Amino acid sequence: MKKMNNKLLLASVILLAGFLHVGCSSAKMGSAASNTTVLNNNWKFSNTVNGDAYSNNFNDDAWQTVTVPHDWAIYGPFDKKWDMQKVAIVQNGETEASEKTGRTGALPHIGTGWYRNTFTLPQFKVGKKALLVFDGAMSEPQVYLNGKKIGQWGYGYSYFYIDITNDIIAGKENILAVKLTNKEYSSRWYPGAGLYRNVSIVVKEPESFEQWGTYITTPVITKSAATINIKAKATGNTIYMVTTIKDAKGKVVATGTTKDFATKGFEQNITVANPNLWSPETPYLYTATTQLFADSTLKDEEITKFGIREIKYEANKGFSLNGKITKFKGVCLHHDLGPLGTAVNKAAMRRQLTILKDLGCNAIRSSHNMPSFEQLELADEMGFMFLAESFDEWVKPKVENGYHRFFDEYAEKDLVNLIRATRNHPCIVMWSSGNEVPDQYGAEGIVRAKFLQDIFHREDPTRPVTVGMDQVKQTMQSGFGSVLDIPGLNYRVHLYEEAYKSFPQGFILGSETASTVSSRGIYKFPVVQAKEKQYDDLQCSSYDLEACSWSNVPDEDFVLQDDKPWVIGEFVWTGFDYLGEPTPYDEKWPSRSSYFGMADLAGIPKDRFYLYRSRWNKEAETLHILPHWNWEGREGQTTPVFVYTNYDSAELFVNGKSMGIQKKSNASPQNRYRLMWMDVKYEPGTLKVVALDKNGKAVAQEEVKTAGAPYKIVLNPDRETITADGEDISFITVSVVDKNGLPCPTATNQLDFTVTGAGTYRAACNGDATSLEIFHEPTMKLFSGKLVVLVKATDKPGDIKLEVKGDGLQSGVVNLKSKS
């Protein structure tokens, strides 16, 4: 009884602390009062400079001209020498150091890079204010304006800004120079290199809102009304604030005016009648225009999209959204975008989220760092809950040159910027102050956990805080896990019950789960469940039964998610493959990207995608067969067939002959979630599965056929019309078929790409973790019969043509349009 009371008490504390929240997604836009200039173009870049390049007289004519966001390392070449690490990965249970050849992606990110931009700002006049804002700069940026050092930062993932009011020259050219340094042994995955997120300048009047100083919540929500609470910090005299709220159709639904300028700024409470609530199913967004006036003159304006929603975490009940118990069906995502590297691109992120929507995913964890503003804006718009993470290290190091070097000086500043810049996003439903930090051990770690959690609570008392814990036994004994608002368990499925009984919160989050490994379209025999399995081709079997020594296959998490109401959800490692961490081949070469994703590095779904989809996507039918049925040389040999489906039973046929009916059962975790025919003998022809309803009636079917030789190239774009903004991208899936139009699942043909018209060839990716082909070269081999080509729009509208050729193959052509 005492234990239960403790859990209920904590739930009450959580509610009193304010974890009932309405958020808003804040994107400051230019207006008559303030003006934002994004510095995308006319950058000069070099990573071969000896000495300093901040002087106005420095000659950068020979430097490369680039656009920002920019990742200098993604252009390669791949080579294990770039950041070869001889280490023991403690969090993976290693005790002896060994050579890790592809741990950070085998791309040339180590070293120093310089960026220079010459610009004028007509809107800046003497007497105004100007802020230089960095959304992210990898890494350790040192910033110079007109030959003078004006600021620096430590963490490459952090957003920060510098007041340049006294350093910018009005009416004349200004020269901005940024020095970035990536040290070796500074990351556990590919961090990218350069100005990989936006750089902008905000010009304001002296009377203005503080940067990231506006905070919107909803303390009261009913069916008939919602109270919108707006707090805004501002500077100036004789000022007052006016807010106008519009619905999704642009209709004004509420207004408010306040002239009470307290010490901490303005505060308004505005009522919105009959509110539409934000959720993953209905991501409804309102718009708030908040204006600052002085003597009836408009001085500043912020335009904020926000969503009204209520979150609650309760002992023994779990997480609820808008009063409905909701499980997190989440994925972890690193920040690289495959062949684009880490350079932010909204079209690439939108494609990822579109794929995840089809999966049935409803949540994302930014692993293990601050998410981009663009990703949060899309999550608000498309309907994804967000676990916004901050650090992979605190004071105790994982890597020699990791964040521990910055913690004492920067941890609070980094968190404040993270929270203030993003706390208005409705998608964010919890924060994470760390991932698998070695500080889990000992009393000092508890002090640090509380220190960071208190900062989150101070800056945003409406959301709880978690840490992804991998040393669960230690955190139970030390009390580290009890300090957290939400105890997050990374793997350790065998400890869930014990942790639930030990921790007082009354619920457990699977903050990182599964880490099953597979290569798209690659199948290994015999089909057995295994840990740390390796093969000569450095691939992993797509039967989805292989994991790492410290991780597990998906079904073990499914059981906990389905059977334990106190398990509030999971964030699977990972939604997409990413550059670096090629476990279980991190000691083998060539292997330079992960095998963990449900989709590969190109964004093409693997078989495991459909296993999760069969559980997560309740709105669509899933009926997926594996493996492919092209096994020359395996005739008569046992070739198991799995079916991932939302149906409970199905019958399998090989060339019309029944292999029997399989029904999901509780015999094992795999039997509960997969239909498996383990004794099928391979013979060329047709593999057909017929799904059955609860009455044994056939309701759906799917076929896989043995294909002949590759004959024709087929192109399938994700979008045929893109925007002529110089940034938008169409992703074209390229495959080959035989003379009968059947996909060739083992094809490895070398293909060449040509783009003409109002677009350019940007990159290609085939999803092969062992491929050393350069992404931006217009040629690449198919992997398991597929690859993806990225065609980028120019800033001129018009027709675009992609042609794909391969020796002995009928060429493929697709016509796209670029519109203003």
Q: Rounded to whole angstroms, how far apart are CA atoms 196 and 72?
A: 9
Q: At what angle do helices 373-382 and 346-359 cross, to 10 degrees?
A: 40
**Cα 721 to Cα 257, 339, 791, distances in angstroms:** 43, 21, 11
Dihedral pair phi/psi, residue 215, rounded to 5°:
-140, 120
Rg (the chain; Cα; Å): 27
Q: Can 512 be counted among the known catalytic residues? A: yes
Question: Per DSSP, what are the bridge partners of residue 625?
Answer: 643
**Tell me, what DSSP letter sits at residue 164?**
-
Q: Rounded to whole angstroms, how far apart are CA atoms 705 and 720?
A: 29
Exactly one of 436, 556, 651, 727 is catalytic; name it: 436
Q: Rounded to whole angstroms, how far apart are CA atoms 672 and 680?
A: 20
Q: Rounded to whole angstroms, how far apart are CA atoms 86 and 758?
A: 47
Buried b or exposed e, range 489-521, using 16+ CB within 10 angstroms: bbbbbeebeebbebbbbbbbbbbbbbbbbbbbb
Contact 607, 644 (CB under 8 A): yes
Helices (H) and strands (E) in the chain, counts: 11, 49
Question: Per DSSP, what are the bridge partners of residue 179?
Answer: 114, 142
Neighbour count for residue 740 (Cβ, 10 Å): 9
Helix (H, G, I), strand (E, B) or coil at 487: strand
Exactly one of 512, 556, 570, 581 is catalytic; name it: 512
Strand residue runs (E) in 351-436: 363-366, 385-389, 428-435
User: What order do you get walking across the sheet with 35-38 strand by strand?
Assistant: 35-38, 199-204, 129-134, 160-163
> Closest Cα to residue 261, out of 236, 291, 289?
236
Helix (H, G, I), strand (E, B) or coil at 495: helix
Dihedral pair phi/psi, residue 274, rounded to 5°:
45, 60
Q: Rounded to whole angstroms, how far apart are CA atoms 526 and 548?
A: 18
State the residue for tokens 């000069």: 44
For β-strands 465-469 and 486-490, DSSP reports them as: parallel
Q: At what angle do helices 407-422 and 373-382 cross, to 10 degrees?
A: 30
**Residues near 566 by Cβ (< 8 Å), separated by ≥ 6?**
316, 318, 500, 506, 507, 508
Q: Can 140 be counted among the known catalytic residues? A: no
Contact 91, 106 (CB under 8 A): no
Dihedral pair phi/psi, residue 696, rounded to 5°:
80, 10
The whole-angstrom distance between residue 237's C-alpha and the CA centroid of its chain comes to 42
* 386: its two tokens: 């967000």
**Tell me, what DSSP letter sits at residue 784?**
T
**Residues near 275 by Cβ (< 8 Å), separated by ≥ 6?**
221, 225, 226, 308
* 239: its two tokens: 């000022």
Helix (H, G, I), strand (E, B) or coil at 417: helix
**Residues near 25 by Cβ (< 8 Å), separated by ≥ 6?**
285, 304, 305, 306, 307, 376, 377, 380, 381, 424, 425, 426, 427
**Residues near 523 by Cβ (< 8 Å), separated by ≥ 6?**
541, 542, 543, 626, 627, 628
Contact 303, 287 (CB under 8 A): yes
Residues marked active site are found at 436, 512
